[in-house]
Each structure stands twice: as structure tokens, then as C-alpha cells.
Chain A
Amino acid sequence: MKFNLKHSIASVVAATFMSSAALASDLIITFDDLNPDKKAAYEAAVEAFKAANPDINVTANNGDREAHKDSIRNALQNDAPDVITWYPGNRMGPFVDAGLFMDISDLWSSDPNLADKFNAIKPTMSRDGKQWGVPYSYYQWGVYYRKDIYDKLGLSEPATWDELLGNCDKLKEAGVTPFTIGTKFLWTAAGVFDYLNLRTNGYDVHNDLTAGNIKYTDDRIRATFANWEEMLDRCTFVGTHATMSWQDAIAPFANGDAAMYVMGNFSVGQYKDAGLTDEQIDFFQFPEITEGLPRAEEAPADAFFIPANAKNVENAKKFLAFVATPEVQGEWNKTIGQLPPNSDAEINSDDKFIVEGMATLSTAAGLAQFYDRDAPAAMASEGMKGFQQFMLDPSKLDEILENLDKVQEEVYK
């Protein structure tokens, strides 16, 4: 009897473990966007994944984007989910270097989608020759402008630097401020800097600068700033930009006081919320500055990563492969109004900005992430302060560049 009791307990325990082993197929995903459309797209994808994999218990978490930037450190080191969102480029650098993200190069070589359809974005997802994440979305940057104002003044989309400056002169004559911008949170100024740098010096110089191989006092970077000074002079920005966020800066654009905005495609929804229609706004690529330079573009991507501490790695990889399929990529980006990194995915052809963005990015010679994602955070934070200072007072240029050199020397050690 005694023996039997022990035996039965043992068998119960064994049964529990076996049954849990058969069912123990969990997947915990942490996402970081609560904006309605982003949230909906994420949840739809998770539902589709559940339907395709009924044997996996999916736990889908979602949180605020800014809070995620802080909480990810803790999540990766202690209570890691199986899949987590983060930014590619240099922003993933610290986590990759500390061994907190899992190397998924095997998935990139074995999965048919990742192996063939993500070539444009692959360098961004790579570090030390290995791949670390799977992008689910990206978007183009460029100049959004008031088509009605352009038409009224008989202007056309500029293809060259001189045409842009000429347009600015005419806009100012008509009492319109050429550009709006809000630099309170700094990164908007980095967008302008990146484009001026990409058009003045090209993709390689952008990468060398953000990788710390070129000094800020280099003549090439000075040439970029010289162009920026010309732009500040002839294409004035709204005067109070240092106190405005990027959303605040839409007000003068919507009211017709400013005619152009260097921005990312995520802003289109906000223009429409401000009362502008598709007829009133349009998009052109930042014009050529140095003739014959291969055209590189800004195209920041959002991606999923597998933490090194993840417990259900197989399921996590299954999910990443699922996210990489053209159907999911297409659906996801139609919902959020952005572009799918998978080149086979369908895009929303009714949205002229998406169509134009796809055309722009698929023909680009190189895709930059963004100054604050390509450069390490410590460099980017000082760099962007410098850009804002330059926009407010171009005469401080030497001081700013020398300070940035000092920071660069320290950060890239």
C-alpha cells in the first residue's frame, strides 16, 4: 500500500510533466506601439499566427513606445519575452554587443522570404556579418509640400538644389515661409542634416560619419553645413521651431503659412487630421545637390528580435518567419500606411504617398536608417543638439563641430 502510494504520486508527477511537455509550446511577444492603427495591425498579425499555429499559446503584450525604450533593458536582462520589438542599425548595437539578442543568421539563410526578398534592408539588420532581427515595416522620408500653394505660384517640384532655392525665393516673395519644422525634440533637425549630407556627400560618407570614421570638422561635413547655411538663409524655416514638436509644426503648414516639410511618411495622417486633403499636399524627393551622386534615402525600419534569454526559440523563429511572409507584410503595412520590407508584398496602390515612397525606395542606391539610429545614442544626442544650435545660430559652427569631434573621440573608443 505504502509502495503503491509513492508509486502513484510519482506517476502523477510524471504525467503532469509529460502532459505539460506536450502542451508546453508558448510564445510571448512584446510589442511597443499603442497608436490605434499600429496596435490593430499587430493584433491582426498575432491572430493570423494563432490561427495558423493552434498548438502554440501566444501571449501578446503591448506597451508605450517611449516607455519601451527604458523597459527593454530590464526585459532583455531579466524577464525576457520570446520576441521583442526594437530598432535596427546602430540602435541594436549595444544589445548585440552585450550578447542580449540572439543571432538569427540561420533563419535568414534558410527562410525563403528572408533569403531573397529582403536584400535592400539586409545590411541594416546585420552587425558583425550576422543578422539579428526581422523588419516588419519601414517608411520613406522626403519633402511634403502644399501643392495648392505651389500651383498658385506656378512652381514645380524641384529636381536640383538651385531649383529648390529658386522656389524658396518665390515663396518668400509671396509671403510664405518655405519650410516648417519643430526642433524641440531635436530629431527633426537630424532628418534635414541627413538629407543634406546624403545629397552633398553620398551614402558612404553618411555611414562613415555615423560609424565614427570621419570627423565632424572634415571638409566634406563642412560642405554639408555650408549648404545648410545657404538653405537657412534662402529657404527660411519657421522662426519659433525650437519650442515646437513635429506635430506643433504642422499648424503653420496646414494654415498655409509654410509650404514645405522635411518629414517621414508617418506624418501624412496628421496632415489629413489637420484638415488637408490629398489634392492640397504632395511629396517630392529631396533634390539633388552634388550632380551625379547615387541617390540614397532615409528609410527607418521597425523590427522584431529574439532575446538571447528567450525560452521558446523555435516558436519565436516560427513567428519571425511568419512576419516575413509577403501576405503578413502587405496586410500589416496597409493598415499602418507604411511600406513592407518584403519586396513581394502588395502595397496599398490607392495611397499616392505609399506608391511614390515604394518607387523612391526601391530605386535608391542605399538606405540610411536615420542619424539617431545609425550613430550610437551618445553621439546622436550631442550631434542633434549641435544641429539645433546651428539652426538657431549658424555663426557658432566651428564651436559646435569641435565639440562634436570631442564627443566622437570619446564615444567610439
Chain B
Amino acid sequence: MTSVAAIDRFATSTKRAFVAAIVIALCLFALQLVTIEGMQSWLDVSRQSAARVPTFLVRISLIICAVAAAFVFVTSLSFYKRNKVAVAPWLFLAVGLVLFMIYVIVPIFQSISYSFTRWDGLYDINGVWTGEWVGLHNYKLLFQDPNFYTSLKNNLLWLLLFMLAVPLGLFIALFLNQTVTGIRMYKSLFFFPFVISQVVVGLIFTWAYNPEFGLLSEIWSWFFCETKTNIVGNLTRVCSPEPPSILGDEDTATFGIIAAGLWPQIAYCMILYLTGLNNISSDQIEAGRLDGAKGWKMLRHVILPQLKPATFIAIVVTVIGALRSFDMIATMTQGGPYGSSNVLAYYMYDQAVGEGVGRYGYGSAIATVLFLIMLVYISYFLWRMYQDEVEAR
């Protein structure tokens, strides 16, 4: 009886594998057939422009179909049944891993390889790559490029000054960690800037800094300006000294952007610390109080050690935030004036894609250097995580 059932099971699972294999083959075959012209004539939309034909949709559904069939195929193999525990996690990881390979790992190596070439980002009419191999030339240029050092310096400034978000966030969290009526509302108000999009924060600060009509120049005019009538009879403002042009001055532009970036980042750190403070054990505070600790000593020796996990995460997200400064710079100054508020990420974009400049090789060299710098931080972070896991075991 059992052997018959086993044979039966074997037969069904072989059949399943067979069907699944056929589905995979069909999907992959159909994938070859999907072309813009074919879709146009099939759907009878030849008048539409190529971009509006749903080729991508059809292709992606075929791929998903093939992946699902592959899943069925693998699970019906007897090899899989024997090694279920070892194979199953990899099966689930497979899709993610493949996507990660295609969209993250492979491009990293592609980008590194482009950094040894001079290329304007174009393929010619036959799809042939138009660049040329130049060896280490881009790196030689890079290390002589004053803009590169400006960007590097600004990256460091971002990392250092952005760290202010951690103590400031802690301070606000301690301040808000009380029970008075409406405290939730105050907390929400303090958290509010983190909810706004970075682009909006950038725009608000750009307007606030504007020396003609911004909030700062408005305040400035209370002290240093007077209103006069100009030659055609309109009112005009005459200031002495002139209001500062924060984003228009190479010495202050970066600081102006960092200050704008700090606003939401402080809110983020604050919320991390607030949740941390919720979990502080009252026994230890009690015990500390009995031993005569209060004020700074209490904070330093009793509360902060318990906030260590929150501090770690706050530092990690702040470092990431500092390296993500791209969107702030893009909305506020576009790296200006004359490149003085660039960071490496923005400079890379500017050289490769921005305004059709098209120095893809040079941009890739910047990207590679940025990658190497980040690698130091990422390695430390991974090592740290690994250590924590080892300790936890």
C-alpha cells in the first residue's frame, strides 16, 4: 500500500515538475516574442508612440509567471524534498538575491569598470558602446581637481555637524519626557519636521534664507534697513550692511544646508530617544536615587547607559542621513555657488548626468571613491552587528 502511494506521489510530483518546466520554457520563449512592433499590431495601437505600448507590463508578467513556475518546479524535485530545511531559506531568498545582484551588486562593478574609461553615456545606432579605455586617467584628474577636495571637505562637514542632531535630540527628548496635559501634542509638534519631505524642508529654508524677501532678511530689516522711495516712486528697502546671502556665499552655503537638514534629523533622534526613555527601568532610577545620584550624575551613569541601543541607532541613522544629503543640496543650491556646496554624491551626479554634461567615466571615478569611503563605515557597522549577535548567543 505505502509503496503504491509513494509511487503515486512520485508520479504526480514528476508530472508537476514536467508541467512547471514547460511553463517556464513557454514564458521564456514568449518573452523573446514581445516586441514593441508586435504589441502594437496585436493591440492595434500602431498610432501610439512606442513609449505608451505596454511592452514592459507584458514582459514583467511573463517573468513573474516564469519565476512562479520555477518555484513549483524546484519544490516538486525529490532533491528538494530530501533537503527541505537546508534549501527552503535559499529558495525564499532567491528572488531578493537575484534582484539585489541585478540592481546593486552588478552596477557597482559596472560603475567601477566605467571609471577607467572616457564615455559620454551614449551607445551608437547599432548599440555599440562609444567610450574608450583610459586607465587611471580619471583618478589622476580627480586628485588634482579642486572641486573634488571641496566636495570631500563638505562631506566631512556634513558628517561632523550632522552629529549635533544626536545630543540635541536627546536634550529635547529629556525635556519632553514629562507628564503634563497635552504633552502628546507637543511631542507631535516637535516630530512634525521629520514627516515633511526633504524637498519641502529644502524649499522652506531656501525661502527663509532669501536675502530679498526671506524671513531672515525680514528680521534683518528691523535692525539695519530703512524704507525709501526710489526713482520711479516705488518703495524700496535700503540696508546697511546688506542682509547676508547665506546660500549665495561660498563660506556659508554648506552650513545653511546642514542647518536645514538638522531640523528634521533632530526630530528623528528625539523620537528614538523618547521610545528609549519609555523603556528605562524605574528600579535602577530608584536605586540610583537612594545612592544619592541626581542631575548630571543620574543622566551620565544611570540613564545614558540604558539608552545605549537608542544612541547606537541614532548615530547610524544620522550618518546615513549625512551621506544622503543629496536631495537637500539638489533643492537648495544645486551645489552652488560655483560648486562650493557640493558633496561627493552631488558632484558625481553633476558630472555624469546633470545638464547633459555626460562625463560618465569621471562621474564613475567619483562614485568609486565615495564607495570606498562608505565601505569603511559599512564594514564597521556590519562588524558591530556581527559582534552583537555573537554576544547575544
Contacts and interface: CB of A to CB of B under 8 A. Distances in A.
* Chain B associates with chain A: yes
Interface of A: 20, 24, 26, 28, 30, 57, 59, 61, 69-70, 73, 77-81, 91, 94-95, 97-100, 146, 148-149, 152-153, 174-176, 183-186, 239-244, 248, 251-252, 255-257, 308-309, 377-378, 381, 385-386, 388-389, 392, 403, 406, 410, 413
B353 to A, nearest CB: 7
Interface string B311-324: 00000000000000
B120 A94 contact: yes
- Closest 7 CB pairs between A and B? A242-B248, A79-B50, A256-B232, A389-B338, A243-B248, A385-B338, A240-B211
A245 B293 CA distance: 58
A413 B47 contact: no
Nearest to A254: B234
26 contacts: A24-B46, A57-B46, A57-B47, A61-B49, A69-B355, A73-B122, A77-B127, A94-B122, A100-B124, A152-B231, A183-B337, A186-B336, A240-B248, A242-B245, A242-B248, A242-B249, A243-B209, A243-B210, A255-B236, A256-B234, A377-B357, A377-B358, A378-B357, A378-B359, A392-B250, A403-B146
Interface string B21-58: 00000000000000010000100001111110000000
Interface string B113-134: 0000010111111010010000
A26 B46 contact: yes
Interface of B: 36, 41, 46-51, 118, 120-125, 127, 130, 141, 144, 146, 209-212, 230-234, 236, 242, 245, 247-250, 334, 336-339, 350-351, 353-359
Given A57-B47, A240-B212, A381-B357, A149 B123 contact: no
Contact of B245 (A69, A97, A239): A239
A69 B356 contact: yes
Nearest to B37: A311
Given A77-B122, A79-B51, A175-B230, A243 B247 contact: yes
A381 B350 CA distance: 9
B358 A94 contact: yes
A159 to B, nearest CB: 23
Contacts of A185: 334
Nearest to B48: A59
B234 A251 contact: no
A255 B48 contact: no
B36 A79 contact: yes
A211 B48 CA distance: 40
B125 A99 contact: yes
Contacts of B354: 381
A95 B146 CA distance: 30
A41 B51 CA distance: 24
A212 B378 CA distance: 43
Nearest to B36: A79
A59 B48 CA distance: 7
B55 to A, nearest CB: 9
A242 B230 contact: no
Contacts of A241: 248
Given A79-B49, A389-B338, A243 B230 contact: no
Contacts of B124: 98-100
Contacts of B232: 146, 148-149, 152, 256
B212 A244 contact: yes
A240 B214 CA distance: 12
A77 B123 contact: yes
Contacts of A30: 49
Nearest to B209: A243
Contacts of B250: 392
Contacts of B351: 378
A71 B121 CA distance: 13
B144 A406 contact: yes
B240 to A, nearest CB: 12
B230 to A, nearest CB: 5
Nearest to B228: A175
B245 A240 contact: yes
Contact of B47 (A59, A149, A308): A59
A257 B125 contact: no
A61 B49 CA distance: 8
A23 to B, nearest CB: 9
Contacts of B339: 385
Contacts of B120: 94, 98
A378 B358 contact: yes
B130 A98 contact: yes
Which one of A95, A243, A244, A255 has the highest number of Cβ atoms from chain B below 10 Å of its Cβ?
A243
Given A149-B231, A388-B336, 7 more contacts: A61-B49, A98-B120, A99-B125, A100-B122, A378-B351, A389-B338, A413-B118
B357 A98 contact: no
Contact of A257 (B123, B230, B247, B356): B230
A404 to B, nearest CB: 12
Contacts of A183: 337
Nearest to A63: B51
Nearest to B333: A184
Contacts of A80: 50
B338 A98 contact: no
Nearest to B51: A79
B105 to A, nearest CB: 24
